[in-house]
Amino acid sequence: MDDLRLEPPLLVAKRLSIALRVSGRDVLAVEDVSFEVYPGGTLGIVGESGSGKSLTARALMGLLPDAARLAGGRVMFDGVDLARLPERIMRRRRGAGLAMIFQDPLRALDPMMRVDQQIVEALRAHGRLGRREARKEALELLDAVRISAAARRLDDYPHQLSGGMRQRVMIAIALAGRPKLLIADEPTTALDVTTQAEILDLLQQLQRELGMAMILITHDMGVASEVTDRVAVMYAGRMVESASTPTIFAAPRMPYTAGLLGSVIDVETVPHSRLSAIGGRPPSLGDLPSGCRFHPRCNRADIVCAARTPPLREDRMGHRCACWHPLTAEAAG
Amino acid sequence: MGISVIATPAARPLPVRLPGGIGLWCWGGVLGLIVALCYLGPLVLPLPSPDATDFGNVLAPIGTAGHLLGTDSLGRDLLSRCLYGGRVSLAVSVGAVCLGLVVGGGLGIIAGYRGGWVDAVISRGLDVLFAFPGLVLALTVASYLGPSVRNVTLAIAFYTVPAYARMARAGTLRVRTQNFVRAAEMFGARGFYIGTRHILPNVLFLMLTYALVLIGIAMVIEASLSFLGLGVPPPQPSWGQLIAMGKQDISDAPHIALVPGAFLFLTITAFNRLGDVLQTRYG
């Protein structure tokens, strides 16, 4: 449904490629990845570790690690190509246009700095706020991320906070610039299950309140099903399938996506039943298979899969899939 | 027995009290005493001036009335000269280390954070300085600049700056990949801001504990320079220079060289031990 909206997308990544320097030579860690995010919408990018999802996120922020560089493609955000912006101008956009929260809230806060200073510095990085106003707004932000007794927490150091609270503080920092797009890179992976649910809940509420778009990067299909309205699946640096969340969960086409869905445990799983797993392991960057990168692990693979890379094709419902032998036929109409 | 040991939960590490450990207090006490003696002693104790000659009491041994640690060949009071000399030695080595901390620390953080060609230029420059033994380099600089307290400090800084720059760079490389630096970059903080507010506080502690070890090294260099006549010019005393002056009477009155030697030895040992204790504890 969301693919039929008339609003222009907030962010369009077009044929994004990222080269990573691995022991002296460049390897394409992300190849030809395209997706779009609509205002207020949530895109889930799902994949195993090493599939290039975090690199993609960091490329959007213009904060690639030293060993990586953008090898091609465009990132159109609000009509501007971020990939071509000089660093000075890009910096102004960070925080205000797009912001990011990280997987490990334990290390995302400076251990030597009090919580209020860390939020205040984020507030002051853009606006011309005075110290007192900034502190007042920091308090409001902590309230906004549902930290109880926020006033008392302001003077705490990060080690005095629990993991969930630190992630809330991190979210507050990310929200300081009133971003239009929040990139959440595995925001709940390091947290325990109950805290996970709380943080996901909070992110959704904030999204509604602030009308913010979100990219949620996760390896957990269960998490993706709860908060996203569209899911893009990445495998070994390529996007292999993307569709609206209900569609991809109901009728995945790519065998890899189906495999991911099969390995999710939920309440409906019959107790003691065998959990299906995808055989083999994801390929290493230095040794990528030819053709479809999933073919060595795929039970539907044949000679074509090994020889030629399947193109990412889109049907009329906006369901995109890169597979020579998809599981379900393309929707008619 | 064995099973019960395994079954008991692992003993939690005891909470570390910040000030503690007998070594810390002992060597801290020695150092505090020497520093207090050097700076307060001449004001409080009834000591003759370090330059006052007493020709009736030349080469007096330790324990002479009026000259507790004896006199040198001109009859100058050794205790008084050692205390004044200590001021110079301490000031020069602490000054050189501070200079190293500020300049070297700054260079190291810039090199580590910026990376790329900035890092290459700074690091190669420092490698050149590091290729010389510390004393040889200080000797060259000191002989070029001429002997004075300021120049000796500068000469020693040629050793402390690269030492600190390396340490700050290594520390920065460790800190800059951490998420809180990425988080600051995420909301659009400037490089200078990240360097001073996030990286500096996180590498400073390491640099401060290292300062103690470096002060010890700086003192040795200062003493060596003074011993070779390239240090603090006479009549202003420093420990190294006092040892050099005592050299000529070493067979008749060995204490003239040994007394400042003992001061130097105790002070350097105290700095090194303190530095070691703090580094193993917090490093």
pLDDT tens digits, one per residue of B34-75: 898 888 887 777 777 777 777 777 777 777 777 777 777 777
Q: CB of A69 within 8 Å of any CB in chain B?
A: no
> How far is B283 from B43, CA to CA, in rounded Å?
38
Q: Which of A99, A111, A126 sits opposite B186 (nearest CB)?
A: A99
Task: Give CATH for domain B78-169+207-282.
Answer: 1.10.3720.10
Kindly report the number of other CB atoms within 10 A of residue A117's CB atom: 18
Partner residues linked to A235 by β-bridges? A238
| Cα nearest neighbour of B173 on chain A | A66
Angle at A256 between CA A250 and CA A261, to 5 degrees: 40
Q: Which two tokens stand for residue B215?
A: 């002060």
Kindly report the CATH number that applies to the domain delimited by A2-97+177-321. Answer: 3.40.50.300
A118 chain-B contacts, CB cut-off 8 A: 180
- Tell me if the pTM is above 0.80: no
Q: Is residue A42 within a helix (H) or strand (E), and if so which, with residue range? A: strand A42-46
Cα separation of A187 and A270, whole Å?
29
Nearest to A110 among B187, B190, B198 (CB): B198
Question: Tens of pLDDT along A270-327?
Answer: 677 666 677 777 888 778 888 888 888 888 888 888 888 898 888 888 899 998 988 8
Beta bridge partners of A238: A235
Residue B9: the pLDDT is 44
Q: Is the peptide bond before B235 cis (omega within 30 degrees of 0)?
A: yes
* Model confidence at B258: pLDDT above 90: no
pLDDT, position A333 = 35
Chains A and B: how many Cβ contacts under 8 Å? 71
Distance in angstroms (rounded) separating the CA atoms of residues B279 and B277: 6
- pLDDT score for A331: 46
Mutate to test the interface with B, among A110, A114, A118 (most CBs of B within 10 A): A110
Rounded to an integer, the average pLDDT of B77-89 is 87
pLDDT tens for A41-56 read: 999 999 888 888 888 9
| pLDDT tens sequence across A234-274 | 998 899 999 999 998 888 888 898 888 877 666 666 677 66
Of B177, B182, B188, the CB nearest to A91: B188
**HEC string for A60-89:** HHCCCCCCEEEEEEEEEECCEEHHHCCHHH
CB contact under 8 A, B183 and A61: no
Residue A269: per-residue pLDDT = 64
Residue ranges of domains in chain A:
2-97+177-321, 98-176
Average confidence score pLDDT of chain B: 82
**Minimal CA separation from A148 to chain B, in Å:** 23
Residues in chain B: 283
Could you give the dihedral angle defined by the CA atoms of residues B181, B187, B189 and B194, in that order, rounded to the nearest 10 degrees?
A: -10
Query: What is the spatial distance between Cα A200 and Cα A196, in angstroms, rounded to a whole number?
Result: 6
- How far is Cα B260 from Cα B240, in angstroms, rounded to an integer? 8
**Residue corresponding to tokens 């040889």:** B136
Q: What is the pLDDT of residue A217?
A: 92
- Does residue A77 have a pLDDT over 60? yes
**pLDDT beyond 50 at B7:** no
pLDDT tens column, A118-144 = 888 888 877 667 788 888 888 888 888
- Spell A197-235 as b/e; 16+ CB within 10 A means b: ebbbebbeebbeeeebbbbbbbbbbebbbbbbbbbbbbb
Rounded to a whole number of angstroms, the distance between the first and last alpha carbons of chain A is 15
Q: Give A111→chain B minimum CA distance, Å.
A: 8
3-state SS string over B161-200? HHHHHHHHHHHHHHHHCCHHHHHHHHCCCCHHHHHHHHHH
Contact A48, A7 (CB under 8 A): no
> Does the pLDDT at position A104 exceed 60?
yes
Which amino acid makes up residue A225? S
Contact residues, chain B, for A161 at CB < 8 Å: none
Could you count the other beta carbons within 10 Å of the beta carbon of residue B118? 14
Q: Does A173 touch chain B (CB under 8 A)?
A: yes
Q: State the residue for tokens 């890899």.
A: A256
Token pair listed for A48? 């195993």
Residue of chain B nearest A59, judged by CA positions: B186
